[in-house]
Amino acid sequence: MSLQFADKLPTRPRIVISESEHARLLALADKAEKRAPDIAEFLSDELSRAEIVRDTEFDPNIVRMGSRVTYLDETTGRTRTVTLVYPDEANIAENRISILTPIGAALIGLSPSQSIEWPQPDGRVGTIKVLEVQNDPVPAANEETK
C-alpha cells in the first residue's frame, strides 16, 4: 500500500492537535519510519499541516489520543465507534484503533461533521465523516497555593 496519495487528495479539513500530543506523535512517526514507512509518512503529513494549540486551550470536541470517536465510512455506509490509542494499547476486538493505522492517522485532530479521505489497506481511497467525539475531562492544572 503506497500512501503517497496525499498530493492527489482534495483540500483536507482543518485539524487541531495539542502541543504535547503533537510532539509525542511526531516522535512516534519518526520511530515508525523503518517499520511502517507508508503510515509514518501519512501521520507525519497530517501532523505537519495541523494547527497546534496549548494543551489548556484544546477543544474537547476534537479527536485526540484516547478519544472515543463515532464515524461514518461514507464508502460503505457503515457507522463505527472506536477509541484512538497508541500502538501498544491497540486491540481491534475492543475497538481500540492505533494512531499508526491509516484510519487512526486520518481521525486525529478532526471534529464532528468533518470528513477526510484516507488510504484503505487495499489501496483504494475511502472517505470518513466524524459524527461524535467523546473525551474524558482533562484534569485542571494545579494552581499555585500561597
Quick: pLDDT tens for 2-43.
444 445 555 688 899 999 999 999 999 999 998 888 889 989
Residue 56: which residues within 8 A CB-CB, separation 6 or more? 141
Cα 35 from Cα 54, distance rounded (Å) = 31
* Cβ proximity of 28 and 100 under 8 Å: yes
Quick: pLDDT tens for 44-63.
999 999 999 999 999 999 99
H-helix or E-strand spanning residue 45: helix 37-49
Classify the C-alpha dihedral 64-66-68-69 as positive or negative.
Answer: positive
| CATH number, domain 6-134, options 3.40.50.1950, 3.20.20.70, 3.10.50.30, 3.90.1580.10 | 3.10.50.30
Cα 13 from Cα 15, distance rounded (Å) = 6
